[in-house]
Structure 1
């Protein structure tokens, strides 16, 4: 296949919009900021317009950063701003640390075989205990294991707590081994519990065949001490309980932190931040974008976003789409200039054809082409590619010519056009593209390499072939599809049963590549395991993603993740453990709604907590649900109802 860029060197049909955006340079030079939102249907040319603008601005000495918002149902809080900080302030965290942040740690860790034999022991560097104390502690742990874990009907994993003097020892067990960790600090955190469980699972997996019938030969389990040091080699920040007052204070602290970085960078050189596919942005990012727009009017900062208006539909709960709500608020403050892109006119389509082929075809060709594509630039380019593949457009004496288009059957669906383009690639390239589409619109080289099972050199060669055909692009450490429609069409072309398998493979690759930082990929893992139809893993990572969102003080995103977990739990087999997990998860959702002042939704989930508490005979949670109902009635000044609720709280 002949390689054509299928991009006109000159942007067509957008002269007024280009001028409008480029004119903002004068304001930047005067130290003034602006915000533009560019809207239009998929394929209309929003990204092309903004790429043209950023290229122009860069030539004029403006620093530009482009970030993408991703289309997963539950996206990471502040994802686009996390990427922005990587570019303009490497090493700066999105969530600023508190000056006095308390920590807990595991200072001693024991790995013990199910028979009670010590396999490995490690201490925190420079903080280990006296050997006699350690010996006494180990004896206490051995006795505790015999008493607490002797039941053959016990599940193959679980956590116990042992008090030893004024110290606390956490004990996590697997099928064949136990880990006992000495906790130093006021309280254990969820991350401590998670790491204990992860290390047990890792050892059980890596040494499964040996541990099943271990004969005491230490040489066979060499390396376990290194894994155990993962626990004593780190400190765990104490997790603070988020309440209504803290929520507002912490959110403002994050916003001010990002604002200070952005304005400081803009003083060195004017700054343009471009947010592509803004319709997929998480609610917290939209709030931060609004905050920046309001507070950078006197700084040389140009904020630009592109979005598809057809996707601004109400949420599953019937609420206004977050971007639509944000734009309404920003419009009231006169913060944003909206640019709406229409479809190309026929003469623009003619200019587009000339820009690609350096040659004009007859007017009838352009007329039919415009009729079939209705002036959508992306569809036009894809149809032209299909025509080259089919020989409708061909080279004659080094000049591009076109056959009589009135006698040609033209594919009318963009899916057909894209798939013709993909099918001319060799099978290996097609397979790589399918895995890339499974990962998402943007993907990392290492993740793709692990998933497809190819060495880096072979994969790089295949990706180069694909990039030469204009299907993907590469930027620093990430790659992506040149248009969201390309990824969508390739993804939909994969049979569902195969997609399930590929999502599972992708999730397993992510787990293996991110063993020491699963929190950083919890949302991706939730998505892939959900698509793979593996509910246990979906719940595990959705809960983890919810906890991460809470730590970022983004309750709206936490609700999304916890809701995914709760919905998945509801579809699983009913067991006492499952019911308890539903109860805990519903309680977190209720609390997130409560601290954000969404009383109606909060009350709905408090009722659910009460129902689940009765079913599980959890009197403590039942009492708390009544108390929380009463607190909402107090907050809404309905004191009579609050009094009635408090009078019936179970004793």
Structure 2
């Protein structure tokens, strides 16, 4: 909606901000409401007025979680938040400077890839957000208006263009350094010095750094952060939000975090590809936890009442002579849904049910009844769409297949039109029909993105497409994305190709049953997914890495690619091992081991066995440290069982000795004789026999000494007998 009507919920946010500014008390507020209820507009209005109430600069930043195959990109909202806060801090209260400086930072940030996370500790030194300035690559940035052809620009040229597009004395937005180029130079030097270092080792480190960054900024300026459409947030971003909310509660500081979400989406749950079932939405779990911890306030956004609708009508049509019951009719039709109200009034104007007379007074057409206009929001959107010309309709259909946000370059490739013409169509849809608008989303592949004015419009157009035509468009979109090897490009390519091949549903989940398997398409998706999983691991999006690894395993099984299955089963096991989830990890290592036995690939089998044994040894040592000796013994026994059918080697010798030692110090001497006999019999006729034989004698002797040193000689009689027998065994 273009008009804002005062709502009671706004005052609740003002009270929270006042508490942060005057008392240094931060808080987290979530606003829920049905689609079109005006959540985003309410909070955007609040953000715009923040600075007007106080002398000091209130740092504000907002980001939106995008419905990209059902889930937003990992940490994307937080990446945008940090950039906006950096720009706001540099620009002060000057909104023009803030917007211009944000453009500059985004151009620099474009090429960072997942490595931006590694340098978060120096973001804030203005161009410190630059990250890999020296690594910047050429990008498509200009169009030859005579031919419609694109031109590749260097990073320096792109940066220069950003300056040129920034009106006003934007250089004044940089108070900490002498100039932007100097800042970039200093930042590049600093990054070069640290190029070989890894600042972060885990997701927890990243969370701590973000928290520290926000605390440091809030010492000088209170901060307000807005995260829109949290129902689509990735799990890593949700976990970071939860971490910050708990952190504010435990050690408060002037940070106000506002989130919005649709409750009906949370009730639907979220698909877990690992288990193959719909589970509780992860955000709902976090909301419940934060409420129990008294770390969250919730506001449910009410719909418009009749008086507010009348206010909207009078603001939209300032001089009117509408019937007294007109506002009531609109209320009864729309039930007060702000989006429905807005679209209905547009429909009435565009269809000339509302007109201006010669005196510039707005009137309703004679004999008009409310029954003449669409009865649902979908019908209103359909009416608007069908009034467009065929060229615009096709443009929006292609855009809707891309998703809630879309690239003009992709549309240009699919429709075979030069970019100039596509931009003209987009301008009409944006400026005249108000159906799309420019996006603030940062992207590595394209100059800019556009979004539908509301996601209901995108979903309506997408769902109304002929199914076969929709699938063909998905394949064309996939083909257009194939040349882009960034994380976004790879993810879009894999998603659209999967939908086109009927492997994925519209949320990017693999169908339970896949028919008419296209092996080549699955192989293409696997290549993209492998690169994406590597990016996820680098940037500590461990939950997303886990999910995509399971998808890789599933896809590999469809084309009988057992080697890839084993590779990623092991990778998941390794991640669970690092998290200390021993029992869960062992299931994956054991699964990889069992699958490897089906293959006649000695090199792969040996690698799988080595990984499994290494895991079991690490697990046993972990149990030893926590004095869980029985569990450690069982892990070593499992390791020997894995090696049972293989030739005796030094690994088996090492594990046998570790197990023997635990038997001795725990008093389980009855198991020792059998283990020694079995291991020596297996080692017989190998090059390791004599060395192993000597090590056993030495080990048992040490066991006898150990028991004597701690005054526990009860088991030494048995150990001495075993030692005597062992010495009499021919070497």
Structure 1 length-normalised TM: 0.68
Q: 2:324, 2:497 → 1: CA distance?
A: 52
Equivalent position of 1:309 in the other structure:
263
1:86-165 alignment to 2 at 5 Å?
Answer: 86-89=83-86, 90=105, 94-97=116-119
User: C-alpha distance in 2, partners of 1:287/1:448?
Assistant: 35
Q: Which residue of 1 aligns with 2:10?
A: 18
Change (3 A) 1:360 1:381: farther
Residue 21 (structure 2) aligns with = 29
CA distance in 2, matches of 1:360, 1:604: 73
Q: How far, CA to CA, are the matches of 2:383 and 2:225 in structure 1? A: 36
Question: For residues 350 and 588 of structure 2, what CA distance do their matches in structure 1 show?
Answer: 56
Give the corresponding residue for 2:462. Answer: 491
CA distance in structure 2 between the partners assigned to 1:630 and 1:394 by the alignment: 81
Shift in alpha-carbon separation, 1:587–1:415, aligned structure 2, 3 A: farther
Say which structure, 1 or 2, has more relative contact order (CA 8 Å, 6+ apart): 1
Whole-Å separation in 2 of the counterparts to 1:62 and 1:448? 39
- Are residues 380 and 74 of structure 1, via their aligned partners in 2, closer, same or farther at CA, if it must alter by over 3 Å? closer
Report how far residue 598 of structure 1 moved. 5.4
Matched, 1:435 2:398: yes
Q: Is the 8 A contact 2:39 2:260 kept in 1?
A: yes
Corresponding residue of 2:525: 538
Answer with 1 or 2: which has the greater Rg: 2
How big is the shift at 1:580? 1.3
- For 1:521 and 1:272, how far apart are their aligned partners in 2? 31
Q: 2:574 touches 2:585 (CA, 8 Å); kept in 1? A: yes
| Partner of residue 506 from structure 1, selected from 473, 477, 492 | 477
Q: How many residues align?
A: 496
**How far did residue 288 of structure 1 move?**
1.7
| Structure 1 residue 526, shift from structure 2 partner | 2.4
What is the deviation of 1:466?
Answer: 0.8
Q: 1:535 to 1:474 in 2, by over 3 A?
A: same
> Are 1:470 and 2:441 matched, yes or no?
no
Match of 1:529 in 2: 497
Deviations 1:353-397 (A, max 9, x none): 333333474354433433332222112222333333444434444
Partner of 1:131: none
Does the CA contact (< 8 Å) of 1:603 and 1:632 recur in 2?
no
Measured on the aligned residues, the alpha-carbon RMSD in Å equals 3.5
Distance 1:407-1:276 versus aligned 2 partners, 3 A rule: closer
Deviations 1:439-463 (A, max 9, x none): 2222344444445444343232222
Distance change (3 Å), C-alpha of 1:593 and 1:371: farther
Match of 2:335 in 1: 374
Q: How does 1:349-498 map to 2 (within 5 A)?
A: 349-358=309-318, 359=320, 361-397=322-358, 398-402=360-364, 406=369, 408-468=371-431, 469-475=433-439, 477-498=448-469
> Deviation digits for residues 74-106 of structure 1, max 9, x if unmatched?
54321111222333344676422599xxxxxxx
Which of 580, 583, 591 is 2:563 aligned to?
580
Residues in 2 aligned to 1:452 and 1:23: alpha-carbon distance in whole angstroms: 51
CA distance in 1, matches of 2:50, 2:556: 50
TM-score with structure 2 length normalisation?
0.61
Q: Structure 2: where are the runs of 5+ without partners?
A: 87-104, 110-114, 122-191, 273-277, 441-447, 502-520, 647-731
Distance of 1:520 and 1:375 partners within structure 2 = 38
- SS of residue in 2 equivalent to 1:339: strand
Counterpart of 1:555 in structure 2 is: 542
Question: Residues 466 and 632 (structure 1 numbering): CA distance in 2 closer, same or farther, change over 3 Å?
Answer: farther
1:408 aligns to what SS in structure 2? Answer: helix
Distance 2:590 2:197 in 1: 27
Deviation at 1:328, TM superposition (A): 2.6
Distance 1:432 1:278 in 2: 28
Counterpart CA distance in 2 for 1:455 and 1:607 is: 55
| Residues 407/511 of structure 1: CA separation in 2 closer, same or farther (3 Å cut) | closer
Contact map agreement 2:474 2:500 (CA 8 A) in 1 = yes
Check conservation: 2:64, 2:227, Cα contact below 8 A: yes
| Counterpart secondary structure, 1:22 | helix
Q: Is the 8 A contact 2:482 2:490 kept in 1?
A: no
585, 602, 606: which is aligned to 1:620? 606
In structure 2, the CA distance between the partners of 1:265 and 1:238, relative to structure 1 (3 Å rule), is: closer
C-alpha distance in structure 2 between counterparts of 1:53 and 1:360, whole Å: 33
* Alpha-carbon spacing, 1:634–1:470, altered in 2? closer, same or farther (3 Å): farther
* Greater shift in the superposed pair: 18-27 or 545-554: 18-27
- Is the 1:349–1:366 contact (alpha carbons within 8 Å) kept by the matching residues of 2? yes
SS in 2 for 1:466: helix
Find the partner of 2:552 among 565, 569, 583: 565
Which secondary structure state, in structure 2, belongs to the residue aligned with residue 473 of structure 1? strand
Question: Matches of 2:257 and 2:285 in 1, distance apart?
Answer: 18
Query: In structure 1, how many angstroms separate the alpha carbons of the residues matched to 2:429 and 2:310?
Result: 28
Q: 3-state SS of the aligned residue for 1:19?
A: helix
Cα deviation, 1:97-119, whole Å, max 9, x if unaligned, reads 599xxxxxxxxxxxxxxxxxxxx
Aligned-residue offset at 1:506 = 2.7
Residue 293 in structure 1 maps to residue 245 in structure 2:
yes
Describe the SS at the equivalent of 1:23.
Answer: helix
After superposition, give the CA deviation of every residue in 1:255-306 in whole Å (9 maximum; x if it has no partner). 2332343334444543322111011111111222233334456543321111
Distance 1:98 1:433 in 2: 38
Q: Work out whether residues 558 and 592 of structure 1, in 8 Å CA contact, stay in contact via their aligned partners in 2.
A: no
1:339 is matched with which residue?
299
Distance (whole Å) between structure 2 residues aligned to residue 320 and residue 630 of structure 1 = 36
* C-alpha distance after superposition, 1:552-574 (max 9, x if no partner): 122211012222222333333x3
SS in 2 for 1:96: helix
Q: Secondary structure at the match of 1:273?
A: strand
In 2, the alpha carbon distance for the partners of 1:400 and 1:520 equals 48
Q: Determine the C-alpha separation between the residues in 2 that align with 1:267 and 1:67.
A: 23
Q: How does 1:63-82 map to 2 (within 5 A)?
A: 63-72=59-68, 73=70, 75-82=72-79
2:247 is the alignment partner of 1:274 = no
* Residues 66 and 233, structure 2, Cα contact 8 Å, conserved in 1: yes
Q: Which has the higher helix share?
A: 2
